[in-house]
Amino acid sequence: MTPAPTSSLDLCRPEARSLPIYNAGISERTARAKYNLARVTKLASNENPFGVSPAVIEVFERAFHQIYRYPDPKCTALRERIQALNAIEADRIVFGNGSEDIIEMLCKALLSPGDRVVTLAPTFGLHEIFPLMMGATVDKVRINADFGYDLPLWRRSLCRAPVKLVMFSTPSNPVGCILRTAEFRELINAAPPDAVLVVDEAYHEYAAHEDYPDSLKLLSAQPRPWLVLRTFSKAYSLAGLRIGYGLASDAELVSILDRVRTPFNVNSAAQEAALAALSDAEHLQATVSATARERDLLADRLNSVESVQGYGLRIAPSRANFLFIDTANSSREIAEALLRLGVIVKPWLEPGYDTFIRVSVGRRADNEHFMEAFEHVMRRRQIDLG
Ligand SMILES: Cc1ncc(COP(=O)(O)O)c(C=O)c1O
């Protein structure tokens, strides 16, 4: 008798089997097909809606002719540029196929089953999923009622040793809050001396402000190993090419990450495009400023709708290119109703935050499409409930 086939699930590591699935959202094409939509506005992945610099388009053709070759595994030219921009030694820089690749490398290299990771709640999904994949336990520190980092809670969580990894984003995804300088110092100083600190600054370029700290300076002034993560996916508009980097406390940490990364993890077009994007500071500044203006306009619109209609909305103040909105309804249902009207947003599904949607800031017409659809959906809900 032939033995019963083994299920793939049975062959899986238990950590992988129970892993939550990252909510990567849906594409415009899928949305269009699902509801037969003529117009789709995608505000779900915090991309830069103003597109790439002309300098990127120019180098892209050159990069295209080189795709028969493997990419430079050390990203040498880009490394030199980032080294100069950040005044850091070349061997303290690591590159990834998106910064998410570096989060995965970190977890693979540092975490063993039972290690404890402390992160934020609500959190960027991969800050939780990759540690769980390695069998670590993840403690999530909730934001406070004002949508900020809850420092007393962080202190309490960090003093419960051991802590292997402290990982959080600032500006935070999905909330948009930043850790101010004094808070930043307090949080890192509360960590045990043998914890590794990972500060994910995916939205760094949007946060410039006098109270947004120079994390490299603050981290350099303390003894724990650390890594600051940055990406070209957001303000630099290269999400589709996949490239991010990390700045580390020491070359040893980078050499450990190098051991677990795939050797050619950053494609050649991405390396060229990142260099070109860095060369156009004007484009960066113009699109970041336009996004900040649109974000504040959108927040004002939402707040005034709330004050007139009283839907029970709460809009978190944001220093990034998105807004986190408590809809006081099921986020899944609101997002689906918006999708029917052609607007893709991200329903937050994390326990405790599943009435929130995260809306990326688009161009003016995109944001107007969202507002129109959102008001329609919320009005309908009120009528249905009334
Ligand atoms: C906080 C944070 N970190 C990392 C990433 C990953 O970005 P990428 O892999 O595109 O560099 C994202 C993307 O949304 C993010 O929000």
Task: Concatenate the DSSP letters of all residues of 141-179 into one string.
Answer: EEB-TTSSB-HHHHHHHHTSS--SEEEEESS-TTT----
183 lines ligand 1 (CB under 6 A): no
Q: What is the pLDDT of residues 255-308, one digit of tens each?
A: 999 999 999 999 999 999 999 999 999 999 999 999 999 999 999 999 999 888
User: Atom of ligand 1 at shortest distance to CA of 46?
Assistant: 14
Ligand 1 in reach of 367 Cβ (< 6 A)? no
Mean pLDDT of the chain: 95
The pLDDT tens digits for 40-57 are 999 999 999 999 999 999
| 100 in contact with ligand 1, CB cutoff 6 A | yes
55 CA from centroid of ligand 1 (Å):
23
Report CA-CA distances (Å) from 29 to 52, 309, 386.
Answer: 21, 34, 36
> Does the pLDDT value for residue 78 go beyond 90?
yes
The full length of the chain comes to 386
What is the pLDDT at residue 160? 87
pLDDT value, residue 308: 87
Q: Is 371 in the pocket of ligand 1 (CB under 6 A)?
A: no
Maximum distance among all Cα pairs of the chain, rounded to whole angstroms: 73
What is the CATH architecture assignment of 8-51+282-385? Alpha-Beta Complex (3.90)
Determine the Cα–Cα distance for residues 380 and 329; give it in Å rounded to an integer.
12
pLDDT band at 2 (very low <50, low <70, confident <90, very high): confident
Mean pLDDT score, 360-384? 95
pLDDT tier at 6, thresholds 50, 70, 90:
confident
Query: Has residue 251 got a pLDDT over 90?
Result: yes
Q: Which residue, among 183, 120, 123, has the nearest Cα to 151 in the 3D structure?
A: 183
Pocket test for ligand 1, best of 173, 236, 267, 322 (most atoms within 8 A of CB): 173
pLDDT higher than threshold 80 for residue 185 = yes
Q: What is the pTM of this model?
A: 0.96
What are the domain boundaries of the chain?
Answer: 8-51+282-385, 54-280
Whether 321 lines ligand 1, by a CB cut-off of 6 Å, is no
Domain 54-280: state its class. alpha beta
Element (DSSP H or E) covering residue 119? strand 116-121
- Which residue's CA is the nearest one to ligand 1's atom 15? 202
Dump pLDDT digits (tens) for 102-151. Answer: 999 999 999 999 999 999 999 999 999 999 999 999 999 999 999 999 99
